[in-house]
């Protein structure tokens, strides 16, 4: 019997990479998707199979982290061995504008899922393994480097909500003996990152500027430093956490930090351009409270999981630039053939 996994946030960057990884390991994968008026499954369309197909291994369920009853039903139907909670309102800047919604989905949503799993465990005598996507934003204003021993100091409604979810996960492990792990992941990027996140915003602009579709790139705090890895590597760490004998929390990071300026400089250089000619600072993109410097100290973590990042900073910047160069090329081709193309994201100029 192959194992079954349930993923919330399967339509996101991490969810799509994790689904790929688990399908390759012969898991049956169930994903929770929200009902929206437009399709949100772009990142997993290549994995989708008609559920009528007897060989189908990927199943999608409508659900929402704000709906406890629905979550219980999905778990009952999917009967997972492992649950990965990657669903969240995951944008830090947006969390300032939608603090309460972020709290409800990113914070209390995790609790709803944990409670649904606890009830399922009790009814069925099972011990489902749970992964909670914790975040380096929980460290916020804490001085670098940040490790498992660093006290949290979240600096955004997103970070505060993630701290809440973190402790609920720890409490379910300690109070009810659940196999529940937090992975405190530092920034992890890829060509699948949403276009409003700074790395993707930069590489998207590099492609479009190179193709003559955009003139300027407006960014917030260029001096913010982050520890950046590749999402494809990081989902492997999530999987490994749930294969250990005992549950615990882990910090997943590369141990190297670069500034937003470093990232922009390299991304533009890969397309033979100088970022100074195109990048301008717009204070509108500053956060009300900035997080200046996140640098992960994985400590003994990586050894415990026998995991290390495979993709270097250079490599993933290149992968993102190449992917977005191709996207911009397609956009340019369509425009030259007189197709109507809306250049999404350009609106923030």
Partner 1 sequence: MPTALITGITGQDGAYLARLLLARGYTVWGIVRADDRPASCKLGSLAALRIENDVRLAAAELRDTASLARVIRDSAPDEIYNLAAQSSVAQSFDTPLETGEISGLSVVCLLQAMRENQPDARFYQASSSEMYGQARETPQTEDTPFYPRSPYGAAKVYAHWMTVNYREAYGCHASCGILFNHESPLRPEQFVTRKVTTAVARIKAGLQSALVLGNLEVQRDWGFAGDYVQAMHLMLQQDTPDDYVIATGEVHSLREFVSLAFQVVGLDYREYVQSDAALFRPAEVQAVVGANGKAARKLGWSPRMKFEQLVEFLVEADIKRVRKDESNIRYVMEEAT
- State in angstroms the smallest separation of the CB of 138 from partner 1: 9
263-to-126, 159, 192, 225, 323 alpha-carbon distances in Å = 46, 23, 17, 10, 16
Binding to partner 1 by residue 289, rule CB under 8 A? yes
Q: Of 158, 234, 258, 293, which one is the catalytic site residue?
A: 158
Marked catalytic residue, from 137, 236, 265, 331: 137
Tell me the HSE value of 216 on the side-chain side, using a 13 A CA sphere: 8
Cβ of residue 321: shortest distance to partner 1, in angstroms? Answer: 33
Is 211 one of the binding residues for partner 1 (CB under 8 A)? no
Stretch binding partner 1 (CB under 8 A), from 128-136, 172-180, 190-198, 262-270: 172-180
For the question of residue 137 being annotated catalytic, the response is: yes
- CB–CB of 51/23 below 8 Å? no
Kindly name the residue from 16, 90, 134, 135 that is annotated as catalytic: 135
Token pair listed for 298:
């994985």
Residue with tokens 């970070």: 159
* Selected range binding partner 1 among 268-276, 285-293, 308-316, 335-343, rule: CB under 8 A: 285-293
What is residue 192's three-state secondary structure? coil
Please count the residues of this chain forming the interface with partner 1, following the rule CB under 8 A. Answer: 32
Residue from 37, 38, 175, 246 in contact with partner 1 (CB under 8 A) = 175
Binding mask 94-113 for partner 1 (x = CB under 8 A): --x--xx--xx--xx--xx-
Q: Token pair for residue 309?
A: 């990042």
Q: What is d(CA 235, CA 219) in angstroms, rounded to the nearest whole number?
A: 28
- Judged by CB under 8 A, does residue 145 bind partner 1? no
Is 160 among the residues that bind partner 1 (CB under 8 A)? Answer: yes
- Residue 188 has which token pair? 């992890």
CB of 108 to partner 1, least distance (A): 5
* Residue 87 binds to partner 1 (criterion: CB under 8 A): no
Among 68, 148, 240, 335, binds partner 1 (CB under 8 A): 68
Among residues 261, 287, 329, 332, the one that binds partner 1 under rule CB under 8 A = 287
Active site residue 158: yes
What's the min distance (Å) between Cβ of 100 and partner 1? 5
- Rounded CA separation 146/309 (Å): 17
Question: What's the farthest any 2 CA atoms get from each other in the chain?
Answer: 62
**Residue 25: helix, strand or coil by DSSP?**
coil
**CA distances for 141 relative to 95, 100, 258, 295, angstroms:** 17, 21, 17, 12
d(C-alpha 56, C-alpha 59), whole Å: 8
Taking CB under 8 A as the criterion, the residue among 48, 59, 167, 218 binding partner 1 is: 167
- Asked if omega into 229 is within 30° of 0 (cis), the reply is no
What would the x/- binding string for partner 1 be over residues 8 to 47, using CB under 8 A?
A: ----------------------------------------
By CB under 8 A, is residue 65 in contact with partner 1?
no
Q: Give CA–CA dist 74/61, Å, rounded.
A: 7
The continuous run of DSSP H or E covering 74 comes out as helix 68-78
Using CB under 8 A, list all residues that contact partner 1. 68, 96, 99-100, 103-104, 107-108, 111-112, 115, 141, 151-152, 154-157, 159-161, 163-164, 167-168, 171, 174-176, 287-289
Residues annotated as catalytic (active site), given as ranges:
135, 137, 158
């Amino acid at each position: 019997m192959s194992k079954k996994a349930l993923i919330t946030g399967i339509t996101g960057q991490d969810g799509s990479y994790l689904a790929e990884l688990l399908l390759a390991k012969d898991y049956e994968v169930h994903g929770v998707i929200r009902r929206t008026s437009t399709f949100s499954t772009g990142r997993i369309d290549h994995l989708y199979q008609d559920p009528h197909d007897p060989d189908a291994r990927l199943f999608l369920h409508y659900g929402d982290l704000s709906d406890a009853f629905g979550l219980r039903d999905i778990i009952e139907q999917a009967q997972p061995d492992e649950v990965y909670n990657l669903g969240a309102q995951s944008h830090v800047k947006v969390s300032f504008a939608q603090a309460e919604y972020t709290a409800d989905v990113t914070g209390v949503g995790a609790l709803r899922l944990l409670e649904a799993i606890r009830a399922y465990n009790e009814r069925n005598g099972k011990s489902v393994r749970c992964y909670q996507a914790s975040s380096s934003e929980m460290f916020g204003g804490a001085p670098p480097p940040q490790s498992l021993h660093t006290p949290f100091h979240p600096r955004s409604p997103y970070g505060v909500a993630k701290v809440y979810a973190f402790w609920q996960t720890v409490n379910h492990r300690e109070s009810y003996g659940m196999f529940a792990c937090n992975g405190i992941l530092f920034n992890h990027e890829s060509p699948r990152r949403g276009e409003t996140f700074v790395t993707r915003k930069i590489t998207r602009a590099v492609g479009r500027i190179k193709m003559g579709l955009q003139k300027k790139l407006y960014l917030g705090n260029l001096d913010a430093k982050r520890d950046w890895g590749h999402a494809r590597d990081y989902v492997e760490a999530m999987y490994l956490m749930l294969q250990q004998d005992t549950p615990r929390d882990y910090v997943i990071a590369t141990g190297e930090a670069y500034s937003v300026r470093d990232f922009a400089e390299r991304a533009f250089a890969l397309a033979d351009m100088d970022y100074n000619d195109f990048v301008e600072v717009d204070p509108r993109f500053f956060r009300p409270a900035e997080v200046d410097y996140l640098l992960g100290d994985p400590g003994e973590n990586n050894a415990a999981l026998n995991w290390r990042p495979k993709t270097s900073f250079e490599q993933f910047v290149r992968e993102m630039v190449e992917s977005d160069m191709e996207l911009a090329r397609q956009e340019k081709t369509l425009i030259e053939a007189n197709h109507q193309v809306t250049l999404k994201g350009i609106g923030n100029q």
